[in-house]
Structure formats: C-alpha cells, structure tokens
C-alpha cells in the first residue's frame, strides 16, 4: 500500500470500526486511530480532509482529531477546510480510498453516533460505547462537560442510565474498484489541493 485518503464531515479517532467480543477493551486493534498508526508506521501516506465546523451545528472538534492523528506518525497529514463559497453549507462527501484501487464512498462518517448494525437495535448493548449510545432528543443539559465529543468513551449526560432508547442510524456506503476507485482518489487529491 502507498496511500490512504479519508474525507468526511466528522471523524472520531477513537471510533471502533468492528465490534465483537464481550468487552470494548478487546477491540483495540479495530479502533480507527490504531489502524491509521499501524498503516502509517509501514510507510503508507495517510491524508485526511475534514470539514471545518466552526461550531455551526455541533461542536465536533475536527481540528483536534487532525492534531491527534498527525501526532501518530509523520506519514499522517490532515487539514480541516470549508468547501463552499456560500456560508452555512458543508460538504458531505465521505470517502476512504486506498492506493487508487479500492474506495469506499457514501453517506457514513467515521465518527460517533454512526456505528450501527443491520437490525438497528435501539436498546442498550455493550456494542455502543460511550457517545455511540446517542439520542439527540434526550441529552439533558447541552453545556454539561460530559457532553463534549472530546470525551468519546463517556456517556452523554442524560443517557448514563441507558433507560432511553438510542437512535438507530441507517445510511448507504459502497465499495468501488478499478476506474471508479481511481476517479475517487483523483477527486480527493483535487479537493486536497484546492483546500491548501
């Protein structure tokens, strides 16, 4: 592998991409930041392009995510950007592209609240760690320190007892290869160069 490109609206380095077993401490190798570090340590160049939220909708702290990921390896570079000349709009391209041969495109960000299973269970489960257990209608005091997304393993204030159903998440993402993957990489590079 030579390069991995990631673009999205929001990224949480501590997100578990795959979850199995009885305890999230067993999932460490499936955490996004650990995967990025592992591939960057092998010499793969990782580029990450995220939305510069400026706390418009939710304080998602993409600048802190970029800083944390860049500290993992000199092979990781990232930036936050605005992608529109019209104030108030965001980009919604979600991309993970690998070596111009494989790409994943669609509507899912690699962040809190988005991990789900096909059955979309709304009831408490050990699979939903900290802020992955989410229901925007029952967060209690939004200024409470526990509600900061910089504390991803801490439950949202108001959902600690998990006696309120979580919000399921359903979106579409797909894998492409060949010329479609190469074009996805080209699109990322063009956006990266434009944002610099």
Query: By C-alpha distance, which of 6, 187, 177, 186 is closest to 101?
Result: 177
**What distance in Å separates the CA atoms of residue 13 and residue 33, rounded to the nearest whole number?**
5
Predicted TM-score of the model (pTM):
0.87
CB 139 within 8 A of CB 158: yes
Q: What is the pLDDT of residues 75-99, one digit of tens each?
A: 999 998 875 555 555 567 899 999 9
CA distance linking residue 91 with residue 83, whole number of Å: 6
pLDDT tens for each residue of the chain, 196 residues long: 899 999 998 899 988 888 877 777 778 889 999 999 999 999 999 999 998 765 555 566 788 899 999 999 999 999 988 755 555 555 678 999 999 999 999 988 898 888 888 888 887 677 888 888 888 777 667 677 877 777 878 887 777 788 888 888 888 889 999 999 999 999 999 989 988 7
3-class secondary structure, 47: strand
Which residue(s) pair with 168 in the sheet?
Answer: none
How many other C-beta atoms can be found within 10 angstroms of the C-beta atom of residue 96?
20
């Amino acid at each position: 592998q030579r390069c991995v490109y990631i673009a999205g609206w929001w990224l949480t380095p501590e997100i578990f991409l795959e979850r199995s077993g009885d305890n999230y401490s067993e999932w460490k190798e499936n955490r996004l930041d650990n995967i990025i570090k592992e591939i960057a340590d092998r010499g793969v160049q990782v580029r990450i392009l995220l939305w510069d939220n400026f706390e418009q909708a939710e304080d998602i702290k993409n600048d802190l995510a970029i800083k944390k990921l860049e500290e993992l390896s000199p092979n990781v570079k990232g930036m936050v950007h605005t992608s529109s000349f019209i104030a108030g709009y965001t980009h919604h391209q979600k991309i993970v592209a690998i070596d111009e041969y494989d790409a994943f495109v669609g509507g899912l960000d690699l962040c809190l609240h988005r991990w789900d299973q096909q059955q979309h269970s709304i009831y408490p489960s050990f699979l939903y760690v900290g802020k992955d257990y989410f229901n925007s209608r029952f967060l209690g005091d939004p200024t409470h320190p526990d509600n900061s997304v910089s504390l991803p393993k801490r439950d949202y204030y108001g959902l600690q007892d998990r006696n309120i159903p979580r919000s399921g998440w359903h979106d579409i993402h797909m894998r492409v290869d060949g010329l479609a993957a190469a074009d996805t990489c080209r699109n990322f590079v063009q956006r990266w160069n434009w944002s610099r």
